[in-house]
């Protein structure tokens, strides 16, 4: 998903993965699956098959852990902030883990065309000394939308196949 906000002074372009369900929705899913699963496990335990309880609990714990991990991975973001002559790129989950600063006049947009029709182009921002790939988790339509947003701000300085790109 690509979000653009512009207040006249600062323009922010945010790219983040598609997020089909919130953490709260995932908790409801775990609860909906827990009720019949634990109900059956308790029923079997009352009939004398008590070893089923730890397995039912482990199954639900594994499901909750998997849903939490997926939800955490979907919090990843690439934030491109343009303010005056400065460009800042932040990457991280809930807060920026890595940040790059560029001078706007020296930044170029690198576009590597897709190798398959379902993929989107690979995008990157670079200057003479540093290269940062952006939006690599986006689907084709979103990558093209991200490309259009970046194209409004930066010149395309590299447009080539992956194996030919040299910076």
The domains of the chain are located at: 2-18+77-164, 23-73
pLDDT value of residue 160: 60
Q: Please choose, from the candidates 75, 10, 11, 14, the residue with its C-alpha nearest in 3D space to the C-alpha of residue 1.
A: 14
Q: Please choose, from the candidates 114, 119, 112, the residue with its C-alpha nearest in 3D space to the C-alpha of residue 156.
A: 112
pLDDT value of residue 117: 82
Token pair, residue 149, equals 């947003």
Tokens 């947009």 belong to 109
Q: What is the CATH number of domain 2-18+77-164?
A: 2.30.29
Walking along the chain (167 residues) 10 residues at a time, the average pLDDT comes out as 89 90 92 95 93 94 94 91 92 92 91 85 90 90 91 79 48
Token pair, residue 139, equals 């689907």
Q: Please choose, from the candidates 62, 44, 61, the residue with its C-alpha nearest in 3D space to the C-alpha of residue 53.
A: 44
The string of pLDDT tens digits covering residues 48-70 is 999 999 999 999 999 999 999 99
pLDDT value of residue 159: 61
Alpha-carbon distance 148 to 26, whole Å? Answer: 34
């Amino acid at each position: 998903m690509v979000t653009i906000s512009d207040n006249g002074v600062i323009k922010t372009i945010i790219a983040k993965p598609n997020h089909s369900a919130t953490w709260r929705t995932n908790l409801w899913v775990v609860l909906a699956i827990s009720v019949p699963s634990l109900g059956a496990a308790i029923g079997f335990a009352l009939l004398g098959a008590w070893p089923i309880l730890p397995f039912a609990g482990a199954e639900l714990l594994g499901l909750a852990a998997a849903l939490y991990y997926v939800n955490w991975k979907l919090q990843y973001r690439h934030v491109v902030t343009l303010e005056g002559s400065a460009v800042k790129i932040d990457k991280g989950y809930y807060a920026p883990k890595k940040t790059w600063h560029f001078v706007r006049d020296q930044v170029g947009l690198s576009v590597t065309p897709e190798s398959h029709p379902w993929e989107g182009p690979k995008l990157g921002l670079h200057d003479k000394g540093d290269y940062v790939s952006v939006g690599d988790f986006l689907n084709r339509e979103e990558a093209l939308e991200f490309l259009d947003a970046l194209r409004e701000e930066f010149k395309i300085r590299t447009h080539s196949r992956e194996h030919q790109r040299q910076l």
